[in-house]
A = this chain, B = another copy of it.
Amino acid sequence: MEVPQHFEDYRVGDVRQSGGRTITEADIVIHAGHSGDFFPHHMDAEFCRGQPFGQRLAHGTMTFAIGIGLTATQINPHAMTYGYERLRFPNPVFAGDTLRTRITIGRKADDPKRLGYGQVVEICETTNQDAKTVMYCEHILLVKKEGTP
């Protein structure tokens, strides 16, 4: 759904909460095949039995892709991604975990180089069913100011 917002419309502290999604063994298999990462931590249950978590882990790149994908329900035509900072995976994701992502507007600033644009930082936190954070990152958006063509 399109939700047009100019730089001026973002308010620091505003929060948006995604729906939930249960990660499945199928997701891990599909992500391995899609990314080409077949490391035993994700794919080899026998190997994992001897590791601290005792079972296969979701790929960090998948937790990022799905965690961010959960928020892809509203499009702002005035914004584009500049990049991501401080991407972390504080807790592991296992098949059966249910994830949801909370976006908080963290800070705003004029863009140092692009006249007519500002930077908006969305704090993205993906949590599991136990409210543990499994992915954290700061999504930097370039957003048009009002009146910028």
Residues in A lying within 8 Å of B, measured CB to CB: 1, 19-22, 24-27, 29-40, 43-47, 56, 59-62, 64-66, 68-70, 72-75, 81-89, 96, 98, 129, 137
30 cross-chain CB contacts under 8 A: A1-B73, A1-B74, A20-B44, A21-B36, A22-B43, A22-B46, A22-B56, A24-B26, A25-B25, A25-B26, A27-B34, A34-B34, A34-B62, A34-B66, A35-B65, A35-B69, A36-B38, A36-B66, A36-B70, A38-B72, A39-B72, A39-B75, A40-B75, A45-B98, A59-B65, A60-B81, A61-B64, A64-B65, A65-B65, A83-B89
How many copies of this chain does the complex contain? 6
Task: Name the distance in Å between A133's Cβ and chain B's nearest Cβ.
Answer: 12
The SS class assigned to the A binding surface is mixed
Distance, CA A29 to CA B26, complexed state (A) = 7
Q: Across the interface, which residues of B come within 8 angstroms of A68, CB to CB?
A: 35, 37, 61
